[in-house]
Structure 1
Amino acid sequence: MVEGLPMDENFQDIKVMVIDDSKTIRRTAETLLKKVGCEVFTATDGFDALAKIADTNPDIIFVDIMMPRLDGYQTCALIKNNSKFKSTPVIMLSSKDGLFDKAKGRIVGSDEYLTKPFSKEELLGSIRQHVK
């Protein structure tokens, strides 16, 4: 038990990829997810992530939209266009919660859209909803 939180059996052995150019966001998500038993991999941008996704085969991917080099929409589209990973849930993370951003996320194949700052419950809820 960590800080009064029981280890949730559902999250044991779930591999999560967090892609964000913000070190703070990556660290926050990694800390929250490791506390409940997830195995967490992080990447600083889409290019960094694509190599790591092939190596780690995550169960779910959280990707920031606004990133240098390869943004979240492009990263999501590349993941979803790969036959090996097209069924892997991709959750978009953004500080913008506009209708256009959400629609664009759907078009490239994202499974859900979380607005920053996200809560621990939102992260875990996404995993509960999308990971079998």
Structure 2
Amino acid sequence: MDDLDALCGIKVLIVDDSSTIRRSAEIFLNDTGCEVILAADGFDAMAKIVDNHPDIIFIDVIMPRLDGYQACRLIKKNSCFHTTPVIMLSSKNGIFDKARGHMAGSNGYLTKPFARKELIDVIQRHVL
């Protein structure tokens, strides 16, 4: 668990309209020392990004009101947050979906359902 010590204090925003996905990510990260912030949709995420300045953002592709692609574009256009890594979350694993996320400015793509190790690996790759 020593390699997880480096995660202590990292702010991770999980944006997904599924409470199951949000809760799973929170449980996976509970013992890592990460500060987990949860948002139910893109609009909720925008407010939490401004209030919390997360170190990394995981955002669901398909959500009501403001989807992940739109939210990612807004984050990347903001001079305060354009360098914050944004990882798209989707149950689809197609090349088109990954390309669309990349075009929106995302830094990576994680397919749902994801495992604890996958989530931690992405954080370590993009934040440390």
TM-based fold match above 0.5: yes
Q: Where in structure 2 are there 5+ consecutive unaligned residues? A: none
| TM-score computed with the length of structure 2 as normaliser | 0.97
Provide the identity percentage: 59
Query: In the alignment, is the contact (CA less than 8 A) between 1:7 and 1:35 conserved in 2?
Result: no
Post-superposition offset of 1:131: 0.2
Partner of 1:62: 58
Q: How does 1:112-123 map to 2 (within 5 A)?
A: 112-123=108-119
Q: How many residues align?
A: 128
Counterpart CA distance in 1 for 2:69 and 2:114 is 19
Letter in 1 for 2:82: K
Q: How does 1:95-110 map to 2 (within 5 A)?
A: 95-110=91-106
Which residue among 20, 26, 30 is the counterpart of 1:24? 20
Partner of 1:80: 76
Stretches (4+) displaced over 4 A: none
Letter in 2 for 1:49: A
1:34 is aligned to 2:41: no
Post-superposition offset of 1:33: 1.1
| TM-score computed with the length of structure 1 as normaliser | 0.94
Query: In the alignment, is the contact (CA less than 8 A) between 1:62 and 1:91 conserved in 2?
Result: yes
Which is helix-richer, 1 or 2? 2
Which residue among 106, 124, 128 is the counterpart of 2:124? 128
Counterpart CA distance in 1 for 2:96 and 2:4 is 35
Query: In the alignment, is the contact (CA less than 8 A) between 1:45 and 1:70 conserved in 2?
Result: yes
Post-superposition offset of 1:6: 6.1
CA RMSD of aligned residues (A): 1.1
Query: In the alignment, is the contact (CA less than 8 A) between 1:7 and 1:36 conserved in 2?
Result: no
Post-superposition offset of 1:109: 0.6
Partner of 2:107: 111
1:43 is aligned to 2:39: yes
Letter in 2 for 1:24: T
Secondary structure at the counterpart of residue 8 of structure 1: helix
Counterpart CA distance in 1 for 2:26 and 2:115 is 13
Secondary structure at the counterpart of residue 81 of structure 2: coil
Letter in 1 for 2:86: V
